[in-house]
Amino acid sequence: MGAKIKDVAALAGVSVATVSRVLSNGPVSAALRQQVEAAVQQLGYSPNLSARRLRSQHSQTVGLIVSDIRNPFFTAVSRAVEDVAYQAGMRVILCNADENPDKEAMYLRLMQEERVCGVIFSPTTVSARRFRPERFDFPVVMIDRAGPAGATDAVVLDNRQAAAQLTEHLLANGYRRIGGLFGNSGATGAERAAGYRDAMTAHGQKSDVRFVVPGSEAADHLVRQWLCEPARPQALLASNGLLLLGALQAVRASGLAIPDDIGLAGFDNDVWTGLVGEGLTVIEQPVYDIGAMAMDMLLSRLRSPTLANRLLVLHGTLLARGSTRPATHQVRIESSAAP
Amino acid sequence: MGAKIKDVAALAGVSVATVSRVLSNGPVSAALRQQVEAAVQQLGYSPNLSARRLRSQHSQTVGLIVSDIRNPFFTAVSRAVEDVAYQAGMRVILCNADENPDKEAMYLRLMQEERVCGVIFSPTTVSARRFRPERFDFPVVMIDRAGPAGATDAVVLDNRQAAAQLTEHLLANGYRRIGGLFGNSGATGAERAAGYRDAMTAHGQKSDVRFVVPGSEAADHLVRQWLCEPARPQALLASNGLLLLGALQAVRASGLAIPDDIGLAGFDNDVWTGLVGEGLTVIEQPVYDIGAMAMDMLLSRLRSPTLANRLLVLHGTLLARGSTRPATHQVRIESSAAP
DNA sequence: TTTTATATTGAAAACGTTTCCAAAACCAAT
DNA sequence: ATTGGTTTTGGAAACGTTTTCAATATAAAA
């Protein structure tokens, strides 16, 4: 266990330099290589990564800072990042910042101390705005939410377009008074709100945007009250899977029927959205691809550090399901709209 | 950026030792402390963790090796582990072994190289059986699935009892031909299968146990075929959230009605289980506590390395919901049982 | 004052690797 | 044999910290 490279060298009857070369597939004669490998085996030698990193000045490690690991979007992304990183011989340190700018700053500092060679980061609006790439020694790829325009590489969804498309879908299905529920911590929420507004005003409808802490509990709470207001919404659009979940719970509690009393749609094709009732209408994001491409982009950046910063925009796809398909829309909805 | 401790020392006009002491809150006069802090600030100095760890021989890091990060059980556990670790001033390296013994071995080796001070591990049966604690320099706490009896600390659910209880519940609600669907990679599956068998034989029923790769796709596939067999099950019990999901999808596809045509129950109170139909009956595990207690146990073990190994057994709670509450059980089920 | 104890400080030796550089060994060609 | 060129090898100097140890400064006691 406590064996060092020196012990291996002694046992194999060679210099430490030779052992080091064996371990890193350097040029060593077959005979010596074998001796060294035997010695390694016999002593149960395990190299010390700290020493190795210190000397070689290379960590072979990237950081991944996500905003909420409970969100299936991020677990999918992190799997993808790991897969690609692993193939490139890199390790991943996964950090969960909990939508908390302080934690984000803390983790960025930690990444700096770890001397990682790059970071993939989904920042809150606060962190995104005040992010200064020059303060870090490593390149950063933003995901989900981009930072200051062009400041770093980024891969994002066309949130505005997607939200507009989803809103259009609700409008096309006869819903008029549509409420928009958005996360208040990331840029994503704001962009999706903008897309929602685009579509609403384009159709002459008044928009009703509400921002909330991005978690199902908060969404549930807010929607419960919302549904008690005199002019309660005929449909709800939620800006991510967690919010959609909260909204669904609130609607269930209210006793309103989906989709006839109220329509429900949102982002993220989380596994449960296809299972409740006749299914929830959602914008599906290419979750795995987002992670894989972000890691690809980071690797490419490490190869050519001087390249201009790139923004990669992906598109979501609308999955129209039962939650926005009222049997008799005009009728029921209009009647409930004008009591 | 590229500033070392030496540069800070030079700028502050002190020795590197003093700087080091400032950084680790050692005994330093207020005046010098201030000078040093100013210098740190001015140079944007950031300590090198590799060097620090190498010299201090302490990594302040624990490893967490989970078998499937897509499983909400493990995301919940990992949050808990992180919370507790963080409060104790430790970092967590999260590794996803994908139910793959090779990956598990690889990650254990990596942990050894990282010189982590401890590991929390949910092994596959294969790894659990062949796990040799003496081959590692760090203590291990097994979760979800224990290793060779008493070989390490462990925190687990009373799987056998819980599965038996769940089976009893199905029997009590009139179901007789109950199929059991279990994961084939972990000890958890086997234990739960045993509990299921206990209850079935206690009630004079024939048990029908099937093991499957623990993922929703495989479960879906298997259950689809299962439901086509001549004597199709009247109820299904799934040994974790992923399998339960697959089973549900298959049942949906078959057109059978829950709970009247077929009952459905399983483990893990994943968020969606409360939302589909009248809800799915599940055994809820104290997921957060499992993680928190595992980390606690690891910290305690680090404090007292010679203590005897402990096995901490927690209990699940049955959440009886609509999926096992047939309106007219005797009738419908008997009729479909004897065509 | 002088002495003794205590709190701060700095010089230098680790920590376990990799890598530079020069020496040694080999091989082929003269 | 001698030369010239490859490969292989080993010695020793890094890498950036922490920590030991002795030295100095400060405070308390005599």
- Statement: residue A216 has pLDDT above 60: yes
Please list every residue in chain B whose beta carbon sits closer than 8 Å to the beta carbon of residue A54: 48, 50-51, 54
Q: How would residue B57 be classed by pLDDT, with cut points 50, 70 and 90?
A: very high
- Of A138-152, B1-15, B136-150, highest mean pLDDT: B1-15
DSSP state of B26: -
Facing residue for B271 by CB, picked from A2, A51, A272: A272
**CB count in 10 Å sphere of residue A213:** 16
Phi, psi of B219 (to 5 degrees): -65, -45
Please list every residue in chain A whose beta carbon sits closer than 8 Å to the beta carbon of residue B1: 137
Indicate the SS3 state at residue A24: coil
Class of A159-284 in CATH: alpha beta
Tokens of A111: 């990444």
Work out the percent of chain B whose per-residue pLDDT is above 70: 96
- Interchain pair B248, A50: CB under 8 A: no
- What is the pLDDT at residue B2? 85
Q: Find out whether A8 and A36 touch, Cβ atoms under 8 Å.
A: yes
Phi, psi of A334 (to 5 degrees): -60, -40
- Rounded distance between C-alpha atoms, residue B262 and residue B324, angstroms: 8
**CB count in 10 Å sphere of residue A55:** 12
Phi, psi of A256 (to 5 degrees): -70, 145
- Statement: residue A223 has pLDDT above 70: yes
- Rounded to the nearest angstrom, the minimum Cα separation between B50 and chain A is 5
Q: In what order do the strands lie in the sheet with A178-183?
A: A208-212, A178-183, A235-238, A263-267, A281-284, A317-319
Q: Report the chain B residue with the minimal C-alpha distance to residue A136.
A: B1
- Interchain pair B50, A48: CB under 8 A: no
Residue A180's alpha-carbon distances to A109, A224, A246, in angstroms, are: 36, 14, 13
Give buried/exposed letters for B247-272 (b at 16+ CB in 10 A, else e).
bbbbbeebebebbbbbbbbbbbbbbb
Indicate the SS3 state at residue B176: coil
A27 CA, D2 C1': Å apart: 28
- Rounded distance between C-alpha atoms, residue A336 and residue A209, angstroms: 21
First vs last Cα of chain A: how many Å apart? 79
Mean pLDDT score, B178-197: 96
- What is the pLDDT at residue A337? 39
Q: Find out whether B65 and B104 touch, Cβ atoms under 8 Å.
A: yes
- Angle subtended at Cα A162 by Cα A219 and Cα A326, rounded to the nearest 5 degrees: 65
Residues sharing a CB contact under 8 Å with residue B90, sequence separation 6 or more, in sequence order: B60, B61, B62, B117
* pLDDT tens-digit series, residues A33-50: 999 999 999 999 999 999
Q: Where is average pLDDT lowest: A81-95, A242-256, B53-67, B135-149?
A: B135-149
Tokens of B43: 């140079």
Residues sharing a CB contact under 8 Å with residue A75, sequence separation 6 or more, in sequence order: A69, B69, B70, B75
- Statement: residue B330 has pLDDT above 60: no
Mean pLDDT of chain A: 93
- Rounded distance between C-alpha atoms, residue A188 and residue A196, angstroms: 12
- Statement: residue A265 has pLDDT above 80: yes
Mean pLDDT score, B319-325: 96
Q: Where is average pLDDT lowest: B5-14, B39-48, B70-79, B146-155?
A: B146-155
- What is the CATH code for B5-54? 1.10.260.40
- Measured over the CA atoms of residue A23, residue A9, residue B106 and residue A81, the dihedral's sign is negative
- Statement: residue A334 has pLDDT above 60: no
Q: How would residue A329 be classed by pLDDT, with cut points 50, 70 and 90?
A: very low
Q: How would residue B150 be classed by pLDDT, with cut points 50, 70 and 90?
A: confident
H/E stretch holding B162: helix B159-172
Q: Find out whether A61 and A116 touch, Cβ atoms under 8 Å.
A: yes
A55 CA, D14 C1': Å apart: 8
Phi-psi region of B46 (alpha: psi -120 to 50; beta: other; left: phi over 0): beta
Is there a shared CATH topology between the A5-54 domain and the A61-157+287-313 domain?
no
Q: How would residue B1 be classed by pLDDT, with cut points 50, 70 and 90?
A: low
Facing residue for A50 by CB, picked from B47, B50, B82: B50
Chosen from A275, A278, A282 to mutate, greatest number of chain B CBs within 10 A: A275
Indicate the SS3 state at residue B180: strand
First vs last Cα of chain B: how many Å apart? 78
**Among residues A276, A297, A239, A329, which one has the least CA distance to residue A81?**
A297
* pLDDT tens-digit series, residues B257-312: 999 999 999 999 999 999 999 999 999 999 999 999 999 999 999 999 999 999 99
Chosen from B49, B112, B249 to mutate, greatest number of chain A CBs within 10 A: B49
One DSSP character per residue, A108-121 reads: HHHHHHHT-SEEEE
Q: Find out whether A7 and A45 touch, Cβ atoms under 8 Å.
A: yes
Tokens of A265: 């749609």
- What is the pLDDT at residue B328? 60
- Interchain pair B275, A94: CB under 8 A: no
B115 CA, D7 C1': Å apart: 36
- Looking up tokens 């990596």 gives B110
Tokens of A306: 């001087």
Mean pLDDT score, A11-23: 96
- Rounded distance between C-alpha atoms, residue A224 and residue A227, angstroms: 5
The beta-strand segments (E) located in chain B are: 61-66, 91-96, 118-121, 140-143, 153-157, 178-183, 208-212, 235-238, 263-267, 281-284, 311-314, 317-319
Please list every residue in chain B whose beta carbon sits closer than 8 Å to the beta carbon of residue A99: none
Q: How would residue A328 be classed by pLDDT, with cut points 50, 70 and 90?
A: low
Cα-atom radius of gyration of chain B, to the nearest Å? 26
- Statement: residue A332 has pLDDT above 80: no
Work out the percent of chain A whose per-residue pLDDT is above 90: 90
Q: Where are the domains of chain B?
A: 5-54, 61-157+287-313, 159-284
Q: Which CATH superfamily is domain B61-157+287-313 in?
A: Response regulator (3.40.50.2300)
Contacts of the segment A253-256: beta carbons below 8 A, 24+ positions apart: A253/A220, A253/A224, A254/A224, A254/A227, A256/A227
For residues B158 and A335, which has the higher predicted lDDT (pLDDT)? B158
Phi, psi of B65 (to 5 degrees): -110, 105
Please list every residue in chain B whose beta carbon sits closer than 8 Å to the beta carbon of residue A44: 135
Distance of CA A240 to the CA centre of its chain: 11
- Statement: residue A101 has pLDDT above 90: yes
- Rounded distance between C-alpha atoms, residue B39 and residue B12, angstroms: 6
- What is the pLDDT at residue B335? 40
Facing residue for B245 by CB, picked from A94, A249, A271: A271
A10 touches strand D (CB under 7 A): no
Q: How would residue B146 be classed by pLDDT, with cut points 50, 70 and 90?
A: confident
- Rounded distance between C-alpha atoms, residue B275 and residue B205, angstroms: 31
- What is the pLDDT at residue A305? 92
- What is the pLDDT at residue A149? 78
* pLDDT tens-digit series, residues A108-132: 999 999 999 999 999 999 999 999 9
- Rounded distance between C-alpha atoms, residue A63 and residue A91, angstroms: 8
DSSP state of B150: T
- Interchain pair B275, A276: CB under 8 A: yes
A to B CB pairs, distance under 8 Å: 92
- Interchain pair A75, B79: CB under 8 A: no
* pLDDT tens-digit series, residues A230-262: 999 999 999 999 999 999 999 999 999 999 999
DSSP state of A176: -
A34 CA, D1 C1': Å apart: 35
Indicate the SS3 state at residue B93: strand
Mean pLDDT score, A274-298: 96
Q: Which residues of B touch A (CB under 8 A)?
A: 1-2, 44, 46-51, 53-54, 59, 69-70, 72, 75-76, 78-79, 82, 91, 93-94, 96, 109-110, 112-115, 135, 137, 216, 245, 248-249, 252, 270-272, 275-276
One DSSP character per residue, B258-323 reads: TTTT-EEEEE---GGGGTSTT--EEEEP-HHHHHHHHHHHHHHHHH-TTSPP-EEEE--EEE--GG
Q: Where is average pLDDT lowest: A140-149, A278-287, B255-264, B278-287?
A: A140-149
- What is the pLDDT at residue A335? 39
Mean pLDDT of chain B: 93
Indicate the SS3 state at residue B33: helix
